[in-house]
Structure 1
Amino acid sequence: MNSPKPDKAFPVSWDQFHRDARALAWRLSGSGPFNAIVCITRGGLVPAAIISRELGIRLIETVCIASYHDYKTQSGLQVLKDVDEKLAANGGEGILVVDDLVDTGSTAKVVRDRLPKAHFATVYAKPLGRPLVDTFITEVSQDTWIYFPWDMGLAFQPPIAQSTEG
């Protein structure tokens, strides 16, 4: 599936992402208890590390799903590594699923099907995927592309007014 070219860019710095992931941990602290975190790789690795520290959760598992292959278009999903059977038992009850972003919801749906009783949390959410998430921090429009700090180097950003001049 090809996504239309996003109209808006939302660059996120390391500092901002850390603050947002800690805010997610704070919001999650009243939920649970959680026995383990299942992070969706690769984007869920960084927030899972921050949340595990903040909530004192030591058991972190991954589910590896490839979807964004060239950073601009989303193609078919491929499960590269599934969740451990012991954690998937009982529908994932007591499990916290963490990802950086829910976009269209296609990746979230794959994980929800495997862990229907898990609590699903993302740092950022877009409207199409939002119904699949239990807890998130910031919602952005569907036509916004989030540039995460691990995908960027330091570079000049043109002013917004320049990008809208025709």
Structure 2
Amino acid sequence: MSLPEKAFPVSWDQFHRDARALSWRLSGTGQSWDTIVCITRGGLVPAAIVARELNIRRIDTVSVASYHDYTSQGDMQILKEISPDIMETEGNGVLIVDDLTDTGKTAAIVRAMLPKGHFGTVYAKPKGRPLVDTFVTEVSQDTWIYFPWDLGFAYQEPITKGHGG
């Protein structure tokens, strides 16, 4: 796996706007959900925003981790399961929320757990896109999204260096 070529830093304000945009798109589907299952950790923030906007009070989490050396994705392991009573529904009435679908590996695991669930993400990359029902922004596979919870204040290099005055 090569390092991403493009950086896409997202501020808290932008992420909040994008998560609200996801809520608008979800509300426009005509479906309603009584439960959110968010994929931790990245799904926690958008799930809170979507839960507020769609007035969904019941939120559960599922935690799937990939152990890797930052150059290759390793085996996927479920660290925290979805509550059994939610699993029994196969996802009927369940909205699955995450910040991003990248390769689709995590999405495929959760989708298999809740095949009748509706999957919403804020951002989607081409490899993961087929597993998502609703998303806000698609970015190229070689783009690395820097989420606001991963960032501090720092100087940003210009996109093109050496072309200034």
- Report the TM-score when normalising by structure 2: 0.93
Cα RMSD over matched residues? 1.8
1:74 aligned counterpart, secondary structure: coil
1:131 aligned counterpart, secondary structure: helix
Structure 1 unaligned runs (5+)? Answer: none
Question: Does residue 57 of structure 2 align to residue 58 of structure 1?
Answer: yes
1:161 aligned counterpart, secondary structure: coil
Q: Give the CA deviation at 1:114.
A: 0.3
Q: Supply the distance in 2 between the matched residues of 1:72 and 1:10 (Cα, whole angstroms).
A: 19
Q: Give the CA deviation at 1:66.
A: 1.2
Paired residues, number: 162
Structure 2 unaligned runs (5+)? Answer: none
Decide which moves more: 61-70 or 149-158.
Answer: 61-70
Q: Give the CA deviation at 1:71.
A: 6.3
- Report the TM-score when normalising by structure 1: 0.92
Q: Supply the distance in 2 between the matched residues of 1:16 and 1:70 (Cα, whole angstroms).
A: 30
Label 1:147 to 1:73 Cα distance change in 2 as closer, same or farther (>3 A).
farther
Decide which moves more: 147-156 or 26-35.
Answer: 26-35
1:157 aligned counterpart, secondary structure: coil
Label 1:163 to 1:91 Cα distance change in 2 as closer, same or farther (>3 A).
farther
Counterpart in the other structure of 2:132: 133
- One-letter identity of the residue aligned with 1:61: D
**Which structure 2 residues correspond to residues 84-123 of structure 1 after superposition, within 5 A?**
84-123=83-122
Decide which moves more: 83-92 or 121-130.
Answer: 83-92
Q: Supply the distance in 1 between the matched residues of 2:58 and 2:28 (Cα, whole angstroms).
A: 19
- One-letter identity of the residue aligned with 1:18: H
Counterpart in the other structure of 1:82: 81
Question: Does residue 13 of structure 2 align to residue 15 of structure 1?
Answer: yes
Decide which moves more: 81-90 or 67-76.
Answer: 67-76
- One-letter identity of the residue aligned with 1:79: I
Q: Which has the higher helix share?
A: 1
Q: Give the CA deviation at 1:90.
A: 2.6
Q: Supply the distance in 1 between the matched residues of 2:26 and 2:4 (Cα, whole angstroms).
A: 30
Q: Give the CA deviation at 1:7.
A: 0.7
1:153 aligned counterpart, secondary structure: coil
2:135 aligned counterpart, secondary structure: strand
* Seq. identity, %: 66
Counterpart in the other structure of 2:27: 29
2:153 aligned counterpart, secondary structure: coil
